[in-house]
Amino acid sequence: DAGITQSPRHKVTETGTPVTLRCHQTENHRYMYWYRQDPGHGLRLIHYSYGVKDTDKGEVSDGYSVSRSKTEDFLLTLESATSSQTSVYFCAISQAGELFFGEGSRLTVL
């Protein structure tokens, strides 16, 4: 157990509204990641962080922003949600060259 908690676990929202997903870890890991999982695409990296206030874009970063003001929290924000952002979002941490994942946040944008 890598001590990763995602919230909310489920959310339904409407197009154009802002949404923030939170990833919280308890073990001081430096690297944190946000992935989205979609049928036929597997997992794709949205953004990652390598320290407080240090973040970088991944493969599918358009429409998403992130923030990391504390080691333990990595926030993913959709400024104006679209239906194409309906997905399952996974947070992960890196430990000894391996990724450990949270349980996921299912977001539905109507």
Asked if 45 touches other proteins (CB under 8 A), the answer is yes
Asked if 17 touches other proteins (CB under 8 A), the answer is no
Unique residue bearing structure tokens 């399952």? 88
What are the two backbone dihedrals, phi and then psi, of residue 84, each rounded to the nearest 5 degrees? -70, -10
Rounded CA-CA distance 79/61 in Å is 12
Q: Of 29, 36, 48, 68, which one interacts with other proteins (CB under 8 A)? A: 48
CB within 8 Å of 62: residues ≥ 6 apart: none
Kindly state the number of chain residues that form the binding site for other proteins, as judged by CB under 8 A. Answer: 21
Q: Of 57, 61, 100, 108, which one interacts with other proteins (CB under 8 A)? A: 100
Q: Of 28, 40, 53, 62, which one interacts with other proteins (CB under 8 A)? A: 40
Helices and strands in the chain: count of H runs, count of E runs: 0, 11
DSSP structure class, residue 84: G
Which of the stretches 10-18, 21-29, 35-43, 69-77 binds other proteins when contact is defined by CB under 8 A? Answer: 35-43
One-letter amino acid for residue 19 of the chain? V
Residue numbers at the binding site for other proteins (CB under 8 A): 31, 33, 40-45, 48, 50, 58, 90, 94, 97-104
